[in-house]
Amino acid sequence: MKLLEEKIKTCGRVLPGGVLKVDGFLNHQIDVDLIMSLGREFFDLFRDEGINKILTVEASGISIAFAAAQFFHVPVVFAKKGENKNVGKDVYTGECFSFTKGKPYEMSVSKAYLGKEDSVLIIDDFLANGAAVKCLMHILDQAGASLVGVGIAIEKGFQPGGSELRAAGVRVESLARIRSMDDEGGIEFFD
Ligand code: 5GP
Protein backbone atom coordinates (compact mmCIF):
# COMPACT_ATOMS: atom_id res chain seq x y z
CA MET A 1 0.00 0.00 0.00
CA LYS A 2 1.77 3.09 -1.33
CA LEU A 3 0.29 5.49 1.21
CA LEU A 4 1.68 3.45 4.11
CA GLU A 5 5.06 2.94 2.43
CA GLU A 6 5.40 6.71 1.90
CA LYS A 7 4.49 7.37 5.52
CA ILE A 8 7.09 4.84 6.71
CA LYS A 9 9.71 6.48 4.49
CA THR A 10 8.97 9.99 5.72
CA CYS A 11 8.22 9.32 9.42
CA GLY A 12 9.84 5.96 10.24
CA ARG A 13 13.16 5.72 12.03
CA VAL A 14 15.38 2.65 11.91
CA LEU A 15 16.84 1.71 15.29
CA PRO A 16 19.78 -0.63 15.80
CA GLY A 17 18.71 -4.27 16.03
CA GLY A 18 16.21 -4.19 13.19
CA VAL A 19 13.51 -2.21 14.97
CA LEU A 20 11.47 0.33 13.03
CA LYS A 21 10.09 3.18 15.12
CA VAL A 22 6.78 4.54 13.85
CA ASP A 23 5.69 6.49 16.92
CA GLY A 24 4.64 9.47 14.80
CA PHE A 25 1.64 7.72 13.20
CA LEU A 26 1.03 4.34 14.80
CA ASN A 27 2.77 3.44 18.07
CA HIS A 28 2.38 6.63 20.08
CA GLN A 29 0.63 9.35 18.08
CA ILE A 30 -2.05 7.94 15.75
CA ASP A 31 -2.69 9.27 12.24
CA VAL A 32 -6.40 8.55 12.23
CA ASP A 33 -6.97 9.08 8.50
CA LEU A 34 -4.11 6.73 7.64
CA ILE A 35 -5.20 4.06 10.12
CA MET A 36 -8.77 4.25 8.83
CA SER A 37 -7.50 3.63 5.31
CA LEU A 38 -5.55 0.58 6.56
CA GLY A 39 -8.80 -0.68 8.06
CA ARG A 40 -10.58 -0.14 4.73
CA GLU A 41 -7.84 -2.07 2.92
CA PHE A 42 -8.21 -5.05 5.26
CA PHE A 43 -11.96 -4.93 4.68
CA ASP A 44 -11.46 -5.03 0.91
CA LEU A 45 -9.08 -8.00 1.25
CA PHE A 46 -11.22 -10.11 3.59
CA ARG A 47 -14.77 -8.86 3.06
CA ASP A 48 -16.08 -12.13 1.53
CA GLU A 49 -14.64 -14.47 4.16
CA GLY A 50 -17.47 -14.50 6.70
CA ILE A 51 -15.43 -12.90 9.47
CA ASN A 52 -17.42 -12.33 12.65
CA LYS A 53 -14.62 -11.24 15.00
CA ILE A 54 -11.25 -9.51 14.89
CA LEU A 55 -8.52 -10.51 17.32
CA THR A 56 -5.51 -8.36 18.11
CA VAL A 57 -3.12 -7.72 20.98
CA GLU A 58 -2.79 -4.65 23.15
CA ALA A 59 -1.73 -1.96 22.69
CA SER A 60 -0.72 -0.97 19.17
CA GLY A 61 -2.86 -3.50 17.31
CA ILE A 62 -6.04 -2.03 18.74
CA SER A 63 -6.33 1.09 16.59
CA ILE A 64 -5.88 -0.87 13.33
CA ALA A 65 -8.25 -3.63 14.43
CA PHE A 66 -10.81 -1.00 15.44
CA ALA A 67 -10.47 0.74 12.07
CA ALA A 68 -11.06 -2.54 10.20
CA ALA A 69 -13.95 -3.56 12.46
CA GLN A 70 -15.72 -0.32 11.70
CA PHE A 71 -16.12 -1.61 8.10
CA PHE A 72 -16.81 -5.27 8.97
CA HIS A 73 -19.24 -4.29 11.75
CA VAL A 74 -17.84 -6.99 14.04
CA PRO A 75 -16.41 -6.86 17.57
CA VAL A 76 -12.71 -6.50 18.30
CA VAL A 77 -11.19 -8.68 21.01
CA PHE A 78 -7.73 -7.74 22.19
CA ALA A 79 -5.48 -10.12 24.07
CA LYS A 80 -4.22 -8.64 27.32
CA LYS A 81 -0.54 -8.74 28.09
CA GLY A 82 0.94 -9.83 31.39
CA GLU A 83 -0.83 -11.15 34.45
CA ASN A 84 -4.28 -9.65 34.46
CA LYS A 85 -6.14 -9.92 37.71
CA ASN A 86 -9.23 -8.25 36.29
CA VAL A 87 -9.67 -10.70 33.36
CA GLY A 88 -10.42 -13.51 35.85
CA LYS A 89 -9.35 -17.12 35.75
CA ASP A 90 -11.56 -18.29 32.91
CA VAL A 91 -9.07 -17.43 30.18
CA TYR A 92 -7.19 -18.81 27.21
CA THR A 93 -3.49 -18.06 27.53
CA GLY A 94 -0.30 -18.21 25.53
CA GLU A 95 3.33 -17.38 26.18
CA CYS A 96 5.00 -15.11 23.66
CA PHE A 97 8.54 -13.79 23.24
CA SER A 98 8.62 -10.03 22.69
CA PHE A 99 10.90 -9.05 19.82
CA THR A 100 11.16 -5.40 20.88
CA LYS A 101 11.53 -5.99 24.65
CA GLY A 102 13.64 -9.14 24.29
CA LYS A 103 11.75 -11.08 26.97
CA PRO A 104 8.76 -13.42 27.28
CA TYR A 105 5.32 -12.31 28.36
CA GLU A 106 1.89 -13.87 28.74
CA MET A 107 -1.21 -13.07 26.69
CA SER A 108 -4.73 -13.90 27.77
CA VAL A 109 -8.25 -13.67 26.41
CA SER A 110 -11.39 -14.27 28.44
CA LYS A 111 -13.30 -17.41 27.40
CA ALA A 112 -16.42 -15.22 27.27
CA TYR A 113 -15.23 -13.52 24.08
CA LEU A 114 -13.97 -16.35 21.84
CA GLY A 115 -15.56 -19.68 21.00
CA LYS A 116 -16.00 -22.32 18.32
CA GLU A 117 -18.65 -20.27 16.52
CA ASP A 118 -16.07 -17.58 15.67
CA SER A 119 -14.38 -17.01 12.28
CA VAL A 120 -11.54 -14.73 13.13
CA LEU A 121 -9.26 -12.24 11.40
CA ILE A 122 -6.06 -11.60 13.37
CA ILE A 123 -4.71 -8.06 12.97
CA ASP A 124 -1.44 -6.63 14.27
CA ASP A 125 0.81 -3.65 13.64
CA PHE A 126 4.06 -5.53 12.91
CA LEU A 127 5.07 -9.02 11.85
CA ALA A 128 8.69 -9.89 12.61
CA ASN A 129 9.49 -13.41 13.89
CA GLY A 130 5.82 -14.31 14.11
CA ALA A 131 5.71 -14.99 17.86
CA ALA A 132 2.76 -12.68 18.57
CA VAL A 133 0.64 -14.06 15.70
CA LYS A 134 1.48 -17.67 16.62
CA CYS A 135 0.49 -16.96 20.21
CA LEU A 136 -2.86 -15.53 19.07
CA MET A 137 -3.33 -18.62 16.86
CA HIS A 138 -2.68 -20.81 19.90
CA ILE A 139 -5.42 -18.92 21.74
CA LEU A 140 -7.80 -19.49 18.80
CA ASP A 141 -7.00 -23.22 18.93
CA GLN A 142 -7.87 -23.36 22.62
CA ALA A 143 -11.18 -21.64 21.84
CA GLY A 144 -11.93 -23.95 18.90
CA ALA A 145 -12.36 -20.84 16.75
CA SER A 146 -11.45 -20.74 13.02
CA LEU A 147 -8.66 -18.58 11.70
CA VAL A 148 -9.59 -16.90 8.41
CA GLY A 149 -6.39 -14.95 7.93
CA VAL A 150 -3.87 -12.49 9.29
CA GLY A 151 -3.77 -8.78 8.43
CA ILE A 152 -0.53 -6.96 9.20
CA ALA A 153 0.24 -3.29 8.72
CA ILE A 154 4.05 -3.61 8.46
CA GLU A 155 5.79 -6.91 7.77
CA LYS A 156 9.55 -7.00 8.14
CA GLY A 157 10.08 -9.50 5.34
CA PHE A 158 13.72 -10.02 6.27
CA GLN A 159 12.55 -11.78 9.45
CA PRO A 160 11.02 -15.25 9.16
CA GLY A 161 7.51 -14.85 10.64
CA GLY A 162 5.66 -14.14 7.39
CA SER A 163 7.25 -16.90 5.34
CA GLU A 164 6.78 -19.45 8.13
CA LEU A 165 3.09 -18.63 8.48
CA ARG A 166 2.51 -18.71 4.69
CA ALA A 167 4.38 -22.02 4.44
CA ALA A 168 2.00 -23.36 7.09
CA GLY A 169 -0.94 -22.40 4.85
CA VAL A 170 -2.02 -19.26 6.69
CA ARG A 171 -3.29 -16.40 4.55
CA VAL A 172 -1.14 -13.42 5.54
CA GLU A 173 -1.85 -10.00 4.00
CA SER A 174 0.67 -7.27 4.79
CA LEU A 175 0.04 -3.70 3.66
CA ALA A 176 3.74 -2.77 3.61
CA ARG A 177 6.40 -5.46 3.28
CA ILE A 178 9.93 -4.33 4.06
CA ARG A 179 12.69 -6.07 2.14
CA SER A 180 15.57 -4.41 3.98
CA MET A 181 16.39 -1.57 6.38
CA ASP A 182 19.76 -0.10 7.23
CA ASP A 183 20.99 1.99 10.14
CA GLU A 184 21.35 5.04 7.85
CA GLY A 185 17.59 5.05 7.47
CA GLY A 186 17.35 3.37 4.07
CA ILE A 187 14.18 1.29 3.75
CA GLU A 188 13.40 -0.93 0.74
CA PHE A 189 10.00 -2.53 0.14
CA PHE A 190 8.98 -5.64 -1.78
CA ASP A 191 6.92 -4.78 -4.88
P1 5GP B 1 6.93 -10.86 16.29
O2 5GP B 1 6.12 -11.47 17.41
O3 5GP B 1 6.34 -11.15 14.93
O4 5GP B 1 8.38 -11.20 16.38
O5 5GP B 1 6.87 -9.28 16.50
C6 5GP B 1 5.64 -8.63 16.35
C7 5GP B 1 5.31 -7.81 17.57
O8 5GP B 1 6.47 -7.13 18.06
C9 5GP B 1 4.30 -6.75 17.18
O10 5GP B 1 3.16 -6.93 17.97
C11 5GP B 1 4.98 -5.41 17.48
O12 5GP B 1 4.34 -4.80 18.58
C13 5GP B 1 6.40 -5.74 17.87
N14 5GP B 1 7.39 -5.38 16.83
C15 5GP B 1 8.18 -6.25 16.14
N16 5GP B 1 9.04 -5.60 15.36
C17 5GP B 1 8.79 -4.28 15.54
C18 5GP B 1 9.38 -3.09 14.99
O19 5GP B 1 10.32 -3.10 14.18
N20 5GP B 1 8.85 -1.91 15.41
C21 5GP B 1 7.84 -1.83 16.32
N22 5GP B 1 7.40 -0.62 16.65
N23 5GP B 1 7.27 -2.93 16.86
C24 5GP B 1 7.74 -4.15 16.47
Answer whether 185's CB lies under 8 Å from 164's CB: no
- Where are the strands (E) in the chain, listed by range? 13-15, 19-21, 53-57, 76-81, 91-98, 103-110, 119-127, 146-156, 172-181, 187-189
* Cβ(100) – ligand 1 distance below 6 Å: yes
Residue of 22, 63, 99 best suited for mutating to test ligand 1, as the one with most atoms within 8 Å of CB: 99
Domains of the chain, earliest start first: 2-189 (3.40.50.2020)
Residue 100 Cα to ligand 1 middle (Å):
6
pLDDT digits (tens), the chain, 191 positions: 999 999 999 999 999 889 999 999 999 999 999 999 999 999 999 999 999 999 999 999 999 999 999 999 999 999 999 876 566 679 999 999 998 889 999 999 999 999 999 999 999 999 999 999 999 999 999 999 999 999 999 999 999 999 999 999 999 999 999 999 998 889 999 98
* Cβ(62) – ligand 1 distance below 6 Å: no
Q: What confidence tens digit (pLDDT) does each residue in 42-94 have?
A: 999 999 999 999 999 999 999 999 999 999 999 999 999 987 656 667 999 99
Closest CA to 53 of 126, 115, 141: 115
Answer whether 55's CB lies under 8 Å from 120's CB: yes
Q: What is the pTM of this model?
A: 0.97
Answer whether 94's CB lies under 8 Å from 135's CB: yes
* Cβ(79) – ligand 1 distance below 6 Å: no
